[in-house]
Amino acid sequence: MESTIKQKSIKTDDVKKVESYRWIVWSILAAVYVFVTFHRMSAGVVKNDLESTFNIGAAQFANIGAMYFYAYFIMQIPSGILADKIGPKKTVSIFSIIAAAGSVMFGMAPNLLVAYAGRFLVGIGVSVVFICLIKIQSRWFYSRNFALMIGFVGMSANLGALLAQTPLVVAVGTFGWRSTFIYMGLAMIVFAVLTVLFVKDDPKDMGLPGMDELENRPAVSSDIKVMPALKSIMSNKRTWIISLSYIGLYTGYVVLLGTFGVSYLMQAYTLEKIQAANYIMTAVVGSAISGLVIGYLSDRFKTRKIPLLATGGLTLLGWIVLIYTRMPIGMLAPFMLAFGFVMSGFTMCWTVGTEVNDRRLAGMATGVVNCIGFLGAAVVPVIMGKILDNYQATPAVGYEKAYFVLIALMAVSFTASLFTTETKGQNIYEG
């Protein structure tokens, strides 16, 4: 009897250790993810600085931003393989050093070619972090809280996006754009070291019970055959439907917060750069709130499709209002707050992508969905930039035509959302 009680007590203590230490693991990787989104969104704020330094137009500027997304696109499936095969700890620590080197190279770039190379290296380095963070959550947190934890990931992303707005304007004004990116690279090295020292891929690495044991589910093997796994994911039509839903939502998020949002508001409302950046920050705040609220409600009511449809439809409407109307300046801040809130509905796509595929392949499944989204984020801004270059004499017309490309893609994504599968908060993969 005493032995049974002692075993239960030890097990309770172990559970408490898991539930405590998981936040250390998660917080370190979430902090690294702040750098990921900072680099992703920073180009739009330093647009004029880059155009002046390298004597380039909107299309070449868009290519600087696109280098990050090309690298990210290339690495999404390999990132999933690395996360599933060698684990998040090794993957993030190694690739963070690569990203740090790229950031320093970008800051020191003597010409456009080196700037492209630096941004590409940054994209390669940070491309693994999100998927590794999702993998960590699947191994350290209860599955019933998956969408809520995705919301917390969204908060980390939005913190990076916040830093890439007004704080970046201030930093560039104080240190210059070159030094700012060099310092960010050096800071990434610090977090690479923290990852090596404190991150564990699974509670079992510390002699603690894993989530499989705590949730009484079959153990997940790390002995994954890559090609059969990819075939399983990519032959699943549900993967492609949710990826199509994701591409427009995510591309719009990137365009507003990271590429042409600040410059568009400066042109449309005759704002100074810091004023425009403040309005974009308002959208980021709305997005940060949204991630938690949508994640909580999705988990609470066991629905993924309803939040995705509601936010997708409102996001499409919001884009039409923002581009083709001119609201009173007093309405711009509350509009941007609400717009940022609904825009973050794309986080549901990550959740659905894992729930319609074999749960052992969470990293690769997320990678495939991300791959499609980042293809849009790489290509669409370049198309928009070329349109803007063709309408330099009439920028207002140029922005309307450029944003029409994005709005059309958004309409395709919303249509795809109508055909997504409702998972009811459970993994529905049938093999």
What mean pLDDT is reported for the chain? 89
Residue 6 domain-assigned?
Answer: no
* pLDDT value at 1 more than 60: no
Residue 206 domain-assigned?
Answer: no
Per-residue pLDDT band at 7 (split at 50, 70, 90): very low
What is the spatial distance between Cα 259 and Cα 165, in angstroms, rounded to a whole number?
11
Report, as an integer, the average pLDDT of 242-262.
93
Threshold 0.85, pTM exceeds: no
Token duo for residue 206: 């510390």
353 dihedral zone (left: phi>0; alpha: psi -120 to 50; beta): alpha
What is the spatial distance between Cα 397 and Cα 150, in angstroms, rounded to a whole number?
38
DSSP 8-state symbol, 429: -
What is the spatial distance between Cα 312 and Cα 306, in angstroms, rounded to a whole number?
10
What is the spatial distance between Cα 407 and Cα 331, in angstroms, rounded to a whole number?
22
Per-residue pLDDT band at 222 (split at 50, 70, 90): low
Residue 1 domain-assigned?
Answer: no
Residue 424 domain-assigned?
Answer: no
Residue 428 domain-assigned?
Answer: no
Q: Which pLDDT does position 88 carry in this prediction? A: 93
**What's the domain count of the chain?**
1
Query: Which tens digit of pLDDT belongs to each residue from 125-163?
Result: 999 998 899 889 888 888 777 777 877 887 888 889 889
Residue 287 domain-assigned?
Answer: yes
Of 65, 418, 74, whose CA–CA distance to 244 is shortest?
418
Nearest 5°: the CA angle 317, 43, 401 is 40
**Residue 61 · residue 50 · CB < 8 Å:** yes
Residues comprising the chain, all counted: 431
Residue 210 domain-assigned?
Answer: no
Highest mean pLDDT among 98-107, 200-209, 256-265, 362-371: 98-107
Look up the domain containing 133 and give its range: 17-199+225-417
Of 306, 310, 311, 249, whose CA–CA distance to 424 is shortest?
306
Report, as an integer, the average pLDDT of 244-263.
93
Q: Which pLDDT does position 223 carry in this prediction? A: 64
Q: Which pLDDT does position 8 carry in this prediction? A: 46
| CATH number, domain with residue 409 | 1.20.1250.20
Nearest 5°: the CA angle 189, 160, 330 is 160
What is the spatial distance between Cα 243 and Cα 373, in angstroms, rounded to a whole number?
7
Residue 295 domain-assigned?
Answer: yes
